[in-house]
Structure 1
């Protein structure tokens, strides 16, 4: 656990907790507002959470070389998370556009 200082650990852990809370709040908003497309955003945030947990795990074990695969997994989850968040944002945007009534609208 010597890889990071205590203040850096506090930032890492609080960021993970905040991300989990944000996922829960977005999911709850989807339920309360009856807008299921917002649930996609909560699920789209999951790969980024996995990425953060990979980073914390790797640092917890002092950046061991035997766990270098976690760095690759973290990078992959970051890319996947960026894509899923982009898709979720697009879906929310798409669902919130006004519907067309006729051919002249």
Structure 2
């Protein structure tokens, strides 16, 4: 029972972190536009590429999570780590095309 509660809490908090970071992207767009001096069309392209990448990763990610169901907590932890590293790399970007 205790292990199931820990797994449930892990899923809950990771889901919350995912949505927090996803929504923070929209808040950062004006700052990104000003910092990199890009046009609204380029901001739209950035959003489009991001959404396409999410769509392309979601299906294989779902299949992998079903395949590795016994190690779901490890898989979730690894995905959150990679997600955090990606946001860190975005923060260090010096050019629009690096984003």
TM class by shorter-chain length? 0.3 to 0.5
TM-score (norm 1): 0.36
Structure in which a larger fraction of residues adopt helix: 2
- Which structure is larger by alpha-carbon Rg, 1 or 2? 1
Q: TM-score, normalised by structure 2?
A: 0.38
